Structure 1
Amino acid sequence: MTPLRVLLHAPTAEALARARRNAANLQNARPDAEVLIIANGAAVATALATPDATDSLLRLCRNSLVAQGLDNTRGLVEVEAAVVTLAERQVEGWVYIRA
């Protein structure tokens, strides 16, 4: 069976909280699943302000960081643009879920 590959898109603080819970629940239910949380917009500031056990799965949109004048002082993984990452992963067969 092909492992699940899931993109959780979090553009708001509330969506980030849901995405973090969804990621943890998915990993508990399907340990072989690949999961990424793609944060952009308001979720980026929240991600920087609130560490979480799922942060190894988190990818911050660099465009959102720049637009909001934020520094990634936590050293979280960044992607060039959330929209590019979301589109590229979907082309690769990842399932998109907006949290």
Structure 2
Amino acid sequence: MTTSPDQPALRIVLHAPTVAALARARSNATNLQRGAPYALVRIVVNAEAVAAALDQPHAEVDGLTQVCGNTLQRLGRQAHAPLAVLAQGAVLALAEMQRDGWNYIRA
């Protein structure tokens, strides 16, 4: 399946709030990139998954990963490229992405 110019892009946001969910989201994102290269994919990480994202880099999908700034602040840590830091909390980012047409999947 492909998209046509008159069809909106497939936009998928994978939410990973736990270490196990982060592993699933990374696997899902990798599979989506292979199976649907036309899709826009983002991983939004918050809660306990933030430390795991920082401590266990994943070169293939870290460039798609957005980290909750609130959780980073609570942990007293910083994210480094290619990880992106959300200007707002993950919950607000997820709500805004859904409002803007992103398909939410809890990993």
Q: Structure 1 length as normaliser, TM-score?
A: 0.94
Are positions 1:67 and 2:74 aligned together? yes
Is residue 4 of structure 1 aligned with residue 6 of structure 2? no
Q: Per-residue deviation at 1:85?
A: 0.8
Identical-pair percentage: 49
Q: Which runs of 5+ in 2 are unaligned?
A: 1-6
Partner letter of residue 30 of structure 2? A
Greater shift, 16-25 or 61-70, is seen at 61-70
RMSD: 1.0
In structure 1, the gaps of 5 or more residues are none
Could you tell me the TM-score, scaled by structure 2's length? Answer: 0.87
Kindly state the Cα deviation for residue 84 of structure 1 after the two structures are TM-superposed: 1.1
The Cα shift of 1:65 comes to 0.6
Residue 68 (structure 1) shift: 1.8
Determine whether 1:26 maps to 2:26.
no
Q: Which amino acid aligns with 1:19?
A: A
Name the count of aligned residue pairs.
98
Q: CA-to-partner distance for each residue in 1:36-65, whole Å, 9 max, x for gaps? A: 000000110000011111000000000001
Shift of 1:3: 2.4
Name the residue aligned to 1:83.
91
Q: What corresponds to 1:39 in structure 2?
A: 45
